Chain A
């Protein structure tokens, strides 16, 4: 299996930030979508850990010690893998 293929598989198994349970930690795998530049400016970068604090219309998550409120549409563009 080629490394590129492995990466793809990993992304397939990843979930979006919307699907993470409230109170859980996750590691950001990939940003994809029109809002990703904006998300990166705010600190949503690959490899970083994020904790979802609240869900709903907009979700709140904690990243690098800062709480950010982002819309569901933006959270949809953040692919993460949950951490135990």
Chain B
């Protein structure tokens, strides 16, 4: 009958814990909070979570103490550099002997006989200093036999064009939807728009280039420092390139200077560094130079999007057909598909890749989404304008999510839409300048990964660590790692040391899809809650009370039997301290976050220059952990969207077969003079208990919002990014003359 007597306590459960009694490990059951759902404390009770916390690695980054991969200096280290093919495509013959004979050079070799894309690395050298490595590159005697290339759509699809891949330069289209149904739906429409929209190839422009430093001197162990988004993800490739077993390789990523989706593996720079290190039995430092970063480290897919869409007189979108070409170089490209986000009753879509002799696309902050969003937000705006309907109202009639509906109202208010004169018809091109407002929305799936293992340890001198082999891309991972533990144990933020970026620590997923926070934070909370249980048991034993009667707060521990300071409490622990491992908790990760943005622009009607004056973003993120870092990330996303809208474009000369924008002189990104007033808001109407990452969603809708604002200002519709003054001025002149 014992199970009948099993006590039940709401919100609590029994766990087994190990305690040392008289020097012996004793396993016993204790009551703890129900770890099935180790929820965060209620928002209003939190001292740290949800507040504005300065990032814990701030001083290191501000004083130059933070060590990035490029900063690693090792005894006897070689500097390696690569030579890039300056042609669209070529056969390559290299005499490396003069390079090998040059001062300080110990390694020089050809990498390929025939290149596949513009800028492909064709040779690698390694020498004692960076300068000597550059000398060695210059000493290579290179013969190129240029081969016919295709660097733009026209060249790729021309008859008899050289083939990028054996199955032709036009990929097999994927289609879905019922043409007949869509045609019938178009017949019901009061307004139909049929237009073409394009977006250029965008570069990630990580300020720290792709690169790796390998610490290997022969023997059985190697340390691989890598600028990567996946500390655990590089170990396998590094082991293979070094000829070692995975267990012999340790990956280190203490700080990394930007990834934005382009740094998931060891990448080419890393495998080359490992190969040279293996041969030379010396440490090797190989960071891409800026040109290689532009030409051979991935990019955001460009796209051409032919779209036809229609709405009835009530402003409901009834029909859409789209034909999208993706430009991902030698890769297939990515595109999220149309209709994007909005609900359209009947739709038909066709997608195809056009292949060219250019560097492959790769993931970039919301891969495929900004492209689709730009076309969709533009079409939505054109339909609203066609009906003479308020752009906000039109959106609300075609969005299903309640979050977007409330966000649109709030954002409209904050950008000044309700007082704006051009709500149902755009301004004119007369005069010197015009002011307009535009909108855009996005949604992101988020969700967490169950692989995370976070270790929390409390030593008997009161020191606390939280560690996991994840990485901080600049989003503030270290800070919330420490904060979650500090919150649960009643410690100050600086009372917990967060450690990460080491593959010998607990497992973690690569940082992609905005999943780092919803993967890690639940596992940290799980570990923190377990540790609270362990400490509560220790205190309970001391006080002779039940563990759940113990409260941990900034003063230490208190219970009906008395009080302990933090140091006194920790002194109760055995000499080796206490250690727990937390795992992912699905209840603490949310999936699906909504974002809404608005932009206000001033268009100079005489020069065509577009100045973004203000951007507002309202972003759902479930339970906000650190508002300061969240706001920074949201502003950063808006900055990149603004940059995509107005400035950025990968350019090549298809005739000469050369790159025209492979440096920061010719490839412009937003600088301090472009930055508008940003209003970055965490959506506090999102009351879900779980957390979400917001790296991706706020980068999606900005470009559409800005283009819509230009239309709203002066009635010219710009359908091809970036919105450079020449395009704007041409459109203004066209409208003036029509």
A binds B: no
Measuring CB to CB, which residues of chain A are less than 8 angstroms from any residue of chain B?
none
